[in-house]
Structure 1
Amino acid sequence: MAATRQHHTSPETAALDYDVIIIGAGLSGMYQLHRLREIGLKARIFETGTDVGGTWYWNRYPGARFDSESYSYGYSFSKELLQEWEWSEHFAGQPETLRYCNYVADKFDLRRDIQFESRVTAAIYQGDTRSWEITLASGARSTCRFLVTAVGPLSTPTLPRIEGRDDFEGQSFHTARWPKEKVHFAGKRVAVIGTGATGIQTIQTIACEVGHLTVFQRTANWAAPLHNGKIDAETQRRIKAGYGEIFARCKETFACFVHTPDPRGAFEVSDAEREAFYEKLYGERGFGIWQGNFKDILIDRKANATISDFVARKIRERVKDPDVAEKLIPKNHGFGTRRLPLETFYYEVYNRDNVELVDLVATPIERITRDGIRTSEKDYAFDIIIYATGFDAITGSFDKIDVRGANGARLRDKWQHGPETYLGLMVDGFPNMMMLMGPHTALGNIPRSIEYSVDWVTGLIRFAIDNELTFLDATPEGTAGWTDHVKALGVGLLSNEVDSWMTGINRNVEGKQTRIVARYSGSAPAYRERCDAVAARGYDELRME
């Protein structure tokens, strides 16, 4: 499709406040600011929090940490930064990662162009000036030519729709809105609602500290050992010498991790070989058991059953009470068909005398009371309730902002039946707006995807500046084509048959009870090849004026 490029009188423009406004000062927003400065543009970040870090600023709950190897997670754009920074663990915890974000902000002097405690409530496209007007919760307004959203796929927490939630007189908080001050658990009666990734990390961390812990589980999740450890001096030296190879490896793998699927199928080996392979993966660090497993375990039910049965046996070996073990083994989805939480002695927590598991399928919560939680079976008294109830994922952060494109069209209306995007980076009818880590983009090892998306967006903006273009928009055909392509890639994936944040399901959000294809599920190299081709042809699939 040929681009529509028109050169005519520039639209009547008042002076704009900024060339580019970025929403969010997490890993995406910080790198985007750095790149825009490099090409000489005036850019501003508006950030809701009081400091940088995004995910790592908000998620301060006990046990929060990477599930990507630290040395594959950090930024790759600065060799100097890579040599200066030393990760202390193979999978760094939240405090260390937040220190890293602050180190980056200081090293590249980013804070002078970041406005904190500035929540964006509206972003309205101005057709007459081909610009965006951004409104903050304070009422302050700013204008820019280009808008870049860096709001994160998992940044809008959701609380369960349970009656009486505000009646509880003890402490309560969502894992993603954890208090900055220390929470004292010693001797306390604590409830955790939810056993997803944040729930698992919190539960395994606080179980030995609390007086009594009650875990309320609606949906059991598969989890596998993280096998974290400290990085010794010799390993540190090897990592710093090998960064080129590490990032080259991430660039060639399916999802930008250091792991990639085994080329064999689960039934191309003997039963004994398959069992030995699973044992090897179960004993290794990180996502190998999910991302480095047989090529067919996420598309073939029988192949998936072999790994599901293996991990179920491991859970039964690790949990002493057979009834509790069975409750912890998922029955409604196969291993790896949801994003896999990695754990450190999580299952052993349920062998402790001070830990109880409540199955919400058998005995659902009826309400929160002044003193605790009432299920259909009994009343529980608590001092602290922790909501590990997840996020309104991928599109939720966009829904929080009144985003209006050409002719006042609302983004949430356009996406009411599921997201529609061009390359996961733009949306037709929303000119001069680019998205980082939005719907339909390659997620995987997030910072690797971030750097690629930021570089692509920066290239597009630079192209616009160099060619005096004030209007960039995806076409309806381009958006429909990419959206259909993303949907086609999801056909046959077992994960798209499962209710999860990756399929847009959230029972706690009105209108999000129907599965959608919210993410690109092809390989990262194929995604980059497609986007690179568009850039190489001078962005000929866009409308440009």
Structure 2
Amino acid sequence: MAKSTAIERWDVAVVGAGLSGMYQLLKLRQLGFKARVYEAGGDVGGTWYWNRYPGCRFDSESWSYGFSFSPEVLKEWNWAEHFSSQPENLRYCQFLADKFDLRRDITFNARVKSASWDEAAGEWEVMFEDGKRARSRFLITAIGPLSAPTMPNIPGANDFKGECYHTGLWPQHEVTFAGKRVAVIGTGASGVQAITEIAKTVGHLTVFQRTPNWCTPLRNSRISPEEMEKIRARYDDIFRRCRETWGCFIHTADQRNAMDLTPEEREAVFEELYNQPGFSFWQGNFRDALIDKAANDEMTRFVVKKIRARVKDQKIADKLIPTNHGYGTRRVPLESGYYEVYNQPNVRLVDLRETPIERITAKGVKTSDAEYEFDMIIFATGFDAITGAFDRIDIRGVGGRKLKDKWADGPHTYLGLNIAGFPNFLTLVGPHNAATFCNIPRCIEQNVDFVGDMLVYMRDKGLKRLEATAEAEDEWTAHVYDTGSKLLAMQVDSWITGVNKNVAGRQKRTFMAYAGGAPKYRQKCEEVVAGGYEGFALH
């Protein structure tokens, strides 16, 4: 039988069935729009569907991460841990899909190849890798900031004959490490989590580290049924606090300046925060700790002391301590025994700054001074962050202009939600959006509600087309860079500043996030609405 060539038609097509895509679908359905979600994976979950690697879990408090929009969901769902693991997080996503019967409006195993604006028809045409097509008045991306896995630029990456995995594309079948010689390449957030878990059962583990990261303790714990009931009774206060804080975490900065205190007073604050769970030490530290180098140096010195106390061999500690950036100027991996792993006799650390990898071989890894044989290689080499998932789709706006070309020197957006020259194209959790520096579901809810309200406004007024003006885009992008310029993070190569050594063309610093904070972002969006969607040309 010949394959159907019929084109599906919708009011709104949504790409991605992670948390943002699921909530957007629910909102569109409630508002009366005919919508369809297209998902590359085999089920809902996004990040929590793909990232099944050992040790994968939240770094936000679970009870501050879950959606707040449904009293029923808050009443029915029980979190098992303060920082829950990937299996539970995926179950949560599946619970939401079941609760709201979302799967009936989702097409799975549908990876988008291209999306093109048809000016004459005033709609988007979406092409999938299997050749099928869909058309819609509006196109919304819900593809996530960390969803485009990258492999390192190492010759022979496909030559290895043993087991080989990327943390961001972990298989659904069980992977065991007992008795095996395992290599992990990469020590970012996923690497730190995976290394800690793999070390518990591995035969021998070799960690290849190119750039060490600052890590501080997660301090996770179980949630008893009694504690869950107390958390449930505090949800209103929890979500209110999240709305008030810069990153929508429960943590907020100490309003004092670090250097205004005596050394003894500073040390006492550092010690107290270090011993609290989650991002307390990073997000709850002195107000100037991430913008004033002297304050940051003090915080960094404290963390150095903690690392040295946990690693027995100080030569190994030297390799694990970053020297090219201060604490918190990159997103901080939280850990549960990571540094102690290097005290194990069956764990070896290879510093790639001293002995770089020359190639992957059929048997293992060859560096400049040795060749190592392995049964398994794990690439914890992260993602082409924020814009990478956009780049992997051939997105073309007015006149066939490629989004990738427009963003060649860094993103240009209005509110991180739309791009001049790309009508009716909306980017949830996109670049220059508060959600890229956020406890994401808190910002997802704001993004989705804003988009839903705007589409209703247009429908009620008989409008068919929205597009950011060039002036509004320029002003917002300039504002994004201005707020970012105050951060020490802007002086550091990281995915936040658009630098990725594994991706061609990602060597120049830009700025991918929004550093003004979620409350200011929300206020700006409210002003835009009050002005009749000021900054958008609506027709």
Aligning the two structures, in what range does the TM-score lie when normalised by the shorter sequence?
over 0.9
- The answer as to 2:332 corresponding to 1:340 is yes
* Aligned-partner Cα distance in 1 for 2:224–2:270: 28
- The answer as to 2:482 corresponding to 1:492 is no
- The answer as to 2:48 corresponding to 1:56 is yes
Q: What do residues 496-517 of structure 1 show as CA deviations (whole Å, max 9, x unaligned)? A: 1111111111111111111101
Tell me if the contact between 2:212 and 2:321 (Cα under 8 Å) persists in the aligned partners.
yes
Tell me if the contact between 1:194 and 1:387 (Cα under 8 Å) persists in the aligned partners.
yes
- The answer as to 2:190 corresponding to 1:198 is yes
Runs of 4+ displaced beyond 6 Å: none
Structure 1 residue 537, shift from structure 2 partner: 1.9
Q: 2:425: which partner in 1?
A: 433
Structure 1 residue 16, shift from structure 2 partner: 7.5
Equivalences for 1:176-187 in 2 at 5 Å?
176-187=168-179
Equivalences for 1:345-494 in 2 at 5 Å?
345-443=337-435, 444-494=438-488
* Aligned-partner Cα distance in 2 for 1:373–1:129: 54
Amino acid in the other structure paired with 1:484: A
- The answer as to 2:12 corresponding to 1:20 is yes
Q: 1:80: which partner in 2?
A: 72
Q: What do residues 90-130 of structure 1 show as CA deviations (whole Å, max 9, x unaligned)? A: 00000000000000000000000000000011111111111
Q: 1:9: which partner in 2?
A: none
* Aligned-partner Cα distance in 2 for 1:423–1:184: 45
- The answer as to 2:323 corresponding to 1:323 is no
Structure 1 residue 324, shift from structure 2 partner: 0.3
* Aligned-partner Cα distance in 2 for 1:120–1:191: 33
- The answer as to 2:286 corresponding to 1:304 is no
* Aligned-partner Cα distance in 2 for 1:16–1:425: 25
Amino acid in the other structure paired with 1:499: D
* Aligned-partner Cα distance in 1 for 2:515–2:259: 24
Q: 1:102: which partner in 2?
A: 94
* Aligned-partner Cα distance in 2 for 1:449–1:430: 23
* SS of structure 2 residue aligned to 1:166: coil
Q: 1:11: which partner in 2?
A: none
Q: What do residues 46-73 of structure 1 show as CA deviations (whole Å, max 9, x unaligned)? A: 0000000000000000000000000000
Amino acid in the other structure paired with 1:163: P
Tell me if the contact between 2:494 and 2:500 (Cα under 8 Å) persists in the aligned partners.
yes
Q: 1:39: which partner in 2?
A: 31
* Aligned-partner Cα distance in 2 for 1:466–1:496: 43
Amino acid in the other structure paired with 1:217: Q
Q: Which runs of 5+ in 2 are unaligned?
A: 1-6
Q: What do residues 280-325 of structure 1 show as CA deviations (whole Å, max 9, x unaligned)? A: 1111000010000000110111110101010000000000001001
Moved more, 21-30 or 460-469: 460-469
Q: 2:522: which partner in 1?
A: 528
- The answer as to 2:260 corresponding to 1:268 is yes
* Aligned-partner Cα distance in 1 for 2:424–2:495: 28
Amino acid in the other structure paired with 1:174: H
Q: What do residues 161-216 of structure 1 show as CA deviations (whole Å, max 9, x unaligned)? A: 10111111001111001111001111000000011100000000010201000000
Q: 1:542: which partner in 2?
A: 536
Match of 2:121 among 129, 143, 151: 129
* Aligned-partner Cα distance in 2 for 1:397–1:328: 30
Q: What do residues 222-277 of structure 1 show as CA deviations (whole Å, max 9, x unaligned)? A: 00000000011221111111100000000000110000111001112111111011
TM normalised by structure 2 equals 0.98
Tell me if the contact between 1:207 and 1:349 (Cα under 8 Å) persists in the aligned partners.
yes
* SS of structure 2 residue aligned to 1:461: helix
Tell me if the contact between 1:16 and 1:145 (Cα under 8 Å) persists in the aligned partners.
no
* Aligned-partner Cα distance in 1 for 2:231–2:63: 7
Structure 1 residue 541, shift from structure 2 partner: 2.1
* SS of structure 2 residue aligned to 1:451: helix
Structure 1 residue 491, shift from structure 2 partner: 1.1
* Aligned-partner Cα distance in 2 for 1:375–1:16: 51
> Across the two proteins, how many residue pairs are aligned to each other?
532
Q: 1:510: which partner in 2?
A: 504
Q: 1:12: which partner in 2?
A: none
Equivalences for 1:149-164 in 2 at 5 Å?
149-164=141-156
**Percent identity for Structure 1 against Structure 2:** 57
Q: 1:256: which partner in 2?
A: 248
* Aligned-partner Cα distance in 2 for 1:208–1:51: 30
Tell me if the contact between 1:73 and 1:445 (Cα under 8 Å) persists in the aligned partners.
yes
TM normalised by structure 1 equals 0.97
RMSD: 1.0
Q: 2:4: which partner in 1?
A: none
* Aligned-partner Cα distance in 2 for 1:122–1:172: 29
* SS of structure 1 residue aligned to 2:165: strand
* Aligned-partner Cα distance in 1 for 2:226–2:217: 24
* Aligned-partner Cα distance in 2 for 1:237–1:16: 45
* SS of structure 1 residue aligned to 2:423: coil
